């Protein structure tokens, strides 16, 4: 798949021009690739789409920004207007779906698919909101199960599935509103204030509260009690708000009873999840950089990775302490993943597997 991180040419479409876009006027090849975790060997790779993408993409992203998801039997890859594809673990295409035209201001897609029971759920928001929708497909057949229209302008946040007091909720951040849906039916449960910015960060939650945020064109985080119904703006369902410390792209991370906010420069802020009270702010990493990858947490530690390829292991808790620094000496834009005690990091040209997370 093409990475367009350093292509700085403006893209021009009849509909929109954006100086940070890379061209949909060129043929792109979008692939799904399976690697063996033990040694990185390519098990299979298949071209899901080859042709002219419907819209442009941000120069620092790609046409493959959404993260694939698996239920252990099939793997699902979403490429926005370029399609949704389900493969088995042998690499056979089981089904595919064309979701139609999804204009995105020439900035690409970012919202990843979510699995709930037998459903695969996609949020497909469009430009200024005309024709936006959330849709669920049968994960085995690709048949559409439900579809709910959304008057919601484009956002790049992946929905969060969380179990609340009234059952499962699918929380979708947004510019005009933050909305919780019943994932089984697509019916709206509650609606909170919009974040009024370019919404990229994924919500995070504990058993009682969901936390949503935005880092551009404003900085804001707020907490909503799960189990709410109806319009929750200006009600006590909103637990607290905080208006500093968030980043343009990375999501916050919830670990223990602290919510950690990461800024674009890697500076960390820690808030008490129950009250929103500041625990610490302005915590720096030893090597300056810019950050696009979201943090991950394990064994009492946080790990954050910069665009320069530096990775910082930070002690979780009320006092900020950097425990280790490592570098892969190439750019990191994608969020790391942890599986079976291994850390997987996607660099600009390679994928790395670390067996010892403490070093």
Q: What is the DSSP string of 300-346?
A: TEEEEE-TTSEEEEEE-SSS--EEEEEE-SS-B-SPPEEETTEEEEE
Q: If you average pLDDT over residues 134-147, what whole number do you get?
A: 99
Domain presence at residue 103? yes
In a domain, 337, yes or no: no
What pLDDT is stored for residue 60 in this prediction?
A: 72
pLDDT at 311 over 50: yes
Last residue of a domain, one of 208, 243, 278: 243
Q: Compute CA 90 distance to the chain's CA centroid, rounded to the nearest angstrom.
A: 27
Residue 332 in tokens: 């990191």
- Position 103 pLDDT exceeds 80: no
Which residue, 243, 267, 293, sits at the end of a domain? Answer: 243
Enter the tokens of residue 335: 């969020």
Asked whether residue 1 falls in the same domain as residue 92, the answer is yes
Domain end among 243, 274, 291: 243
Do residues 45 and 96 both lie within one domain? Answer: yes
Residue 339 inside a domain? The answer is no
Strands 74-78 vs 69-70: parallel, antiparallel or unpaired: antiparallel
Backbone angles phi, psi at 350, to 5 degrees: -135, 160
pLDDT band, residue 22 (cuts 50/70/90) = low
Residue 289 has what pLDDT? 97
**Each residue of 48-75: pLDDT tens digit?**
999 877 676 666 777 788 999 999 999 9
117 and 11 fall within a common domain: yes
Asked, for residue 266, whether it belongs to a domain, the answer is no
- Over the chain, what is the mean pLDDT? 90
The CATH number given to whatever domain includes residue 228 is 2.40.10.480
Q: What is the span of the domain harbouring residue 202?
A: 156-243
Which pLDDT value is given to residue 2?
Answer: 33
Q: Is 59 domain-assigned? A: yes
Asked whether the predicted pLDDT for residue 99 surpasses 50, the reply is yes
Tell whether 105 and 164 lie within a shared domain.
Answer: no
Digit-coded pLDDT (tens) for 249-274: 999 999 999 999 999 999 999 999 99
Nearest one of 165, 247, 176 to 210, comparing CA atoms = 165
pLDDT tens string 200-214: 999 999 999 999 999
Of 165 and 20, the structure prediction assigns the larger pLDDT to: 165
Backbone Cα Rg of the chain: 20
Q: Is 80 helix (H, G, I), strand (E, B) or coil?
A: helix
Asked whether residue 180 is domain-assigned, the answer is yes
| Residue 29, domain member (yes or no) | yes
**Domain tally, the chain:** 2
Domain membership of residue 195 (yes or no) is yes
Judge whether 293 and 302 are in contact, CB under 8 Å.
no
pLDDT class of 15 with cuts at 50, 70, 90:
very low
Q: How confident is the model at residue 5 (pLDDT cuts 50, 70, 90)?
A: very low
More confident of the two residues 16 and 308:
308
Threshold 0.85, pTM exceeds: yes
The pLDDT confidence band at residue 105, using thresholds 50, 70 and 90, is low
117 and 6 within one domain: yes
For residue 330, how many other CB atoms are within 10 A of its CB? 13
Residues 279-294 have pLDDT tens digits of: 999 999 999 999 999 9
Q: pLDDT tens across 160-182, in order?
A: 999 999 999 999 999 999 999 99
Average pLDDT over residues 313-317: 98
């Amino acid at each position: 798949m093409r990475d367009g991180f350093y292509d700085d040419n403006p893209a021009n479409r009849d509909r929109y021009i954006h100086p940070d876009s890379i061209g949909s006027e060129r043929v792109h090849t979008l692939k799904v690739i399976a690697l063996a975790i033990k040694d990185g060997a390519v098990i299979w790779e298949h071209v899901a789409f080859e042709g002219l993408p419907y819209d442009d993409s941000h120069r620092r992203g790609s046409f493959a920004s959404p993260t694939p998801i698996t239920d252990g039997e099939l793997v699902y890859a979403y490429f926005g207007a370029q399609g949704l594809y389900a493969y088995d673990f042998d690499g056979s295409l089981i089904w595919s779906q064309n979701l139609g035209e999804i204009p995105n201001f020439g900035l690409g897609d970012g919202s990843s698919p979510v699995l709930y029971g037998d459903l695969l759920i996609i949020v497909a928001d469009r430009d200024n909101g005309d024709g936006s929708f959330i849709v669920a497909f049968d994960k085995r057949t690709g048949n559409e199960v439900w579809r709910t229209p959304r008057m919601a302008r484009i956002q790049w946040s992946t929905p969060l599935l969380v179990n609340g007091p009234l059952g499962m909720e699918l929380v979708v951040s947004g510019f005009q509103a933050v909305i919780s849906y019943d994932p089984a039916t697509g019916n709206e449960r509650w609606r909170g204030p919009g974040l009024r910015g370019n919404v990229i960060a994924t919500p995070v939650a504990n058993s009682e509260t969901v936390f949503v945020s935005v880092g551009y064109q404003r900085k804001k985080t707020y907490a909503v009690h799960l189990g709410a119904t109806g319009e929750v703006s200006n009600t006590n369902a909103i637990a607290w708000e905080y208006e500093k410390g968030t980043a343009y792209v990375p999501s916050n991370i919830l670990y223990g009873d602290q919510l950690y906010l990461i800024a674009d420069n890697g500076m960390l802020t820690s808030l008490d999840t129950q009250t929103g009270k500041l625990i610490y702010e302005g915590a720096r990493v030893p090597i300056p950089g810019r950050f696009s990858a979201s943090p991950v947490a394990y064994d009492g530690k946080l790990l954050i990775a910069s665009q320069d390829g530096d990775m910082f292991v930070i002690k979780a808790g009320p006092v900020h302490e950097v425990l280790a620094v490592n570098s892969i000496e190439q750019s990191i834009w994608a969020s790391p993943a942890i599986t079976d005690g291994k850390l997987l990091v996607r660099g600009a040209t390679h994928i790395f597997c670390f067996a010892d997370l403490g070093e």
